[in-house]
Structure 1
Amino acid sequence: MSTTTADTAVGSTEAAGLAAKPPPTKSLSLFARFRFWTRIWLFKSMVAAVFRVTRFTQANKLKPFLPTYTKHYPVRPMLENRVFLPPGAKSGGKYPLLIVIHGGGFALLDPTVDDQTNTYFAKQQGFVVVAVNYRKAPSYAFPDPVHDVAEITRAVLADQELPVDYSNVSLAGFSAGGNLLLAVAQLPGIKEKVQSLLPVVPVVDFSATYKGEYRPNKEGKPDVLKDTGPLFTWAYIKEGEDLRDPLLSPIYAGRDKLPQRIWFICAEYDYLCHEGEVMAKKLAGIEDDDGIGPEWEKDGIRFRMVPDVQHGWTHMPKSGEAEVQRKKEIELLYEECAEWLKR
């Protein structure tokens, strides 16, 4: 798998995108609201500019990772979705379907951020991959992105033009996308049609009840979410929302509300790792003091803590030999994910 300089921006924005603290319980002052509003829109504008420049200057390098085609569904005609077909796929084929939801703190990016990953699953692993889009905060706060993803997912599941095996349907999502997939998988028209979920470094608890601690990595660098999470939380969650709503904080969803096969992939130095592990254990009926280690599987629920990495490491390039090793490890991980999803 290859990585372009676009991934540098991906890494910083993915790292910035998740909640560090629950939103304030008291009303913010007019000045504070203006400050948050200004910061989020400056951030959005900066990231959009970086990606436009990168896509223009590296068009030839990115060309092998373009989708087979793009599609707008009538349920959300303003949103473009990206479809990746396996080589030689023909109408009437029966390929496993993987619906992917991108990250970015609910406020940034679009499905193109995962083009290389989606190309790998289509070309190397034989999935039909549909990367779905959603409207972004703060203009569209919770629950609007949840319902955008849900409506498009239902449209994908009803799309007779896709050469898919509807007995093997999976949802995958990175970061904020992991939160959204765990939300929409609870909804009718989706829950009963999806067999497996693959949330990667998801945020699952906006109530802060199950938050872990910020932990620096081996180089002493702080958790990448520490300083920016509150901004994105403010953008996504309106004042007065129930922070224990399972569509906002999926950790409060019972096992009966979700598909029965879920693999949580978390990062050792990620502030969100603890809550992801807690949710996995709750769903599997495992007590916290069982001491089962950083990787396990029970009754369809699987958990893995990837060692020595921070939030968003899948999209954050390194340099030199470290980058070669990172890409090798990610491809091995994705190969294992593909095998698990196909079971």
Structure 2
Amino acid sequence: MPDLRKVGAEIQTAAVGESTRLIISPWTFFSRIKYFILAFFWKALLKSELYHSELKKIFNPPGEKEPDKVKTYPVRKSLKIRIFFPPSYDPAACSNGETAQTKLPTLLTCHGGGFMVGQAHDNDAWNRAFAKRHGFLVVALDYTKTPHGPFPTAIHDIEALVSCVLSDPSLPIDTARVAVAGWSAGANLVLAASQLPSLRGRIRAAIPFYPLVDFVPGYEAKAKGRRYKPALSGFRANEDDFLLRMIGLFDWGYLRPGQRCDDPLLSPYYASPGDLPPNIFLIGCELDMLAHEAWRMACKLAGKRVPALDEAVGREEVAGKGELITEGDERFTWEDATENGSRYRWLLVPDMVHGFDHGTIEGIAKDPVMMEDARIKTAKVIGLIGEWLLSGPLKAES
């Protein structure tokens, strides 16, 4: 636990007059009823969509994005992992429990969904694309959803599954070249699990995509810190952040009254750098209320000035179609190395909303112009991440 006097001073400085919370307050009776009903119907709707998509696979052959293998471990029998091999690797080489001979750099991924919804298959297309492009073994993890599994249940699910995967002799894992990645809530979970003694030192790098890393600032303050661009058309021109409609429900499911918001396992922003993976590549979206805390965490880890909450991320100008800003503007990109050898990188994806690289956003936004832009930028980000890992944290020994 960090020095609470220092934490309090930091929170006071960062809040800029906006609401903060060090301790989770009890939910009102009406809030509990409202969120219970919302959670029940939302999860029922998503489950019906999942069954529908699985039924379609019976009549349509599975596409390229499907995993090469799906398995479970006794420690978490209800949680399936999904395994993607690169094209150069023959999955038969690790079948029937035989020890794999060719060791591969490995990326363990964790899906988002506000800790409440989502499945390991949500990022199949991304996982397949990454494995294919960079020659990685990619393993998608799952975890217990809220409200049945409040904090810290999912963190220990990830801890248990990562330990099993890294000890699995049937998988071709180069245990010296392991990274984790997560989206949104999944990013929070991989950063939290990486701090646990059983995993500390076993993970060389982390790639958090638009992560939730700080539960202390109020959500209204977070929403004011993102960039709004009315010059953009469609979904991206909205005056409000779409996450604001759901964030209260996610809090109700994951948090419990009395929980400290500055607990490093809940809010990795407050973790000691030595307890986190030594190499971290944080990725934010310019049109996302969570971009600011990712930016602040990247700056804090690298020893840079940590921006205040009233400093909006990014810029007012609209970027070109498919454009990433990868040099020359520290609002969007930089990389620093510390004296102890850690490397921290920041990338802000211009003109993109939370979940831009996830198929679910297409149904929410119903904006083909945005999705075309998103697909180009997703492919570019996949390229940047693989190049960063293979040229640095997971570089093969000569």
The two structures have a TM-score, normalised by structure 2, of: 0.76
Partner of 1:213: 223
Consecutive aligned runs of 4 or more in structure 1 exceeding 4 Å deviation: 20-25, 318-322
> Does the 8 Å CA contact 2:331/2:348 hold for their aligned counterparts?
no
Deviation at 1:238, TM superposition (A): 1.1
What residue ranges of structure 1 are gaps of 5+ in the alignment?
1-19
Partner of 2:96: none
Partner of 1:285: 303
> Does the 8 Å CA contact 1:23/1:239 hold for their aligned counterparts?
no
What residue ranges of structure 2 are gaps of 5+ in the alignment?
1-18, 94-99, 309-328, 338-342, 392-398
> Does the 8 Å CA contact 2:43/2:117 hold for their aligned counterparts?
yes
User: Which string of whole-angstrom CA distances, capped at 9 and with x for unpartnered residues, describes residues 248-291 of structure 1?
Assistant: 00000021111111000000111111111111111100013699
The 1-side partners of 2:355 and 2:204 are apart by 25
Establish whether residue 32 from structure 1 lines up as the match of residue 31 from structure 2: yes
Question: More displaced, 293-302 or 55-64?
Answer: 55-64
Partner of 1:304: 347
What is the correspondence of 1:1-343 to structure 2 with a 5 Å cutoff? 25-57=24-56, 60=60, 62-87=62-87, 88-89=89-90, 90=93, 91-208=100-217, 212-214=222-224, 215=226, 216-218=228-230, 219=233, 220-221=237-238, 222-288=240-306, 292-299=330-337, 300-315=343-358, 316-317=361-362, 320=368, 322-343=370-391
The 2-side partners of 1:254 and 1:209 are apart by 23
Q: Secondary structure at the match of 1:248?
A: coil
Question: More displaced, 138-147 or 45-54?
Answer: 45-54
> Does the 8 Å CA contact 2:147/2:254 hold for their aligned counterparts?
yes
> Does the 8 Å CA contact 2:24/2:255 hold for their aligned counterparts?
no
Q: Secondary structure at the match of 1:129?
A: strand
Specify whether residues 232 and 92 from structure 1 end up closer, same or farther in structure 2 by C-alpha distance, changes over 3 A only. same
Specify whether residues 143 and 40 from structure 1 end up closer, same or farther in structure 2 by C-alpha distance, changes over 3 A only. same
Deviation at 1:164, TM superposition (A): 1.8
Question: More displaced, 85-94 or 173-182?
Answer: 85-94
Specify whether residues 205 and 61 from structure 1 end up closer, same or farther in structure 2 by C-alpha distance, changes over 3 A only. farther
User: Which string of whole-angstrom CA distances, capped at 9 and with x for unpartnered residues, describes residues 213-233 of structure 1?
Assistant: 344443431212112101111
The 2-side partners of 1:42 and 1:289 are apart by 39
How many aligned residue pairs are there?
324
The two structures have a TM-score, normalised by structure 1, of: 0.88
Percent identity of equivalent pairs: 34
Question: More displaced, 330-339 or 310-319?
Answer: 310-319
Deviation at 1:23, TM superposition (A): 9.9
The 1-side partners of 2:104 and 2:25 are apart by 50
The 2-side partners of 1:118 and 1:292 are apart by 28
Deviation at 1:325, TM superposition (A): 3.6
Determine which structure has greater relative contact order: mean sequence separation of CA pairs < 8 Å that are 6+ residues apart, divided by chain length.
1
Specify whether residues 320 and 110 from structure 1 end up closer, same or farther in structure 2 by C-alpha distance, changes over 3 A only. closer
The 1-side partners of 2:70 and 2:352 are apart by 33
> Does the 8 Å CA contact 1:55/1:62 hold for their aligned counterparts?
no
Specify whether residues 223 and 86 from structure 1 end up closer, same or farther in structure 2 by C-alpha distance, changes over 3 A only. same
The 2-side partners of 1:52 and 1:217 are apart by 37
Deviation at 1:51, TM superposition (A): 2.6
The 2-side partners of 1:205 and 1:321 are apart by 32
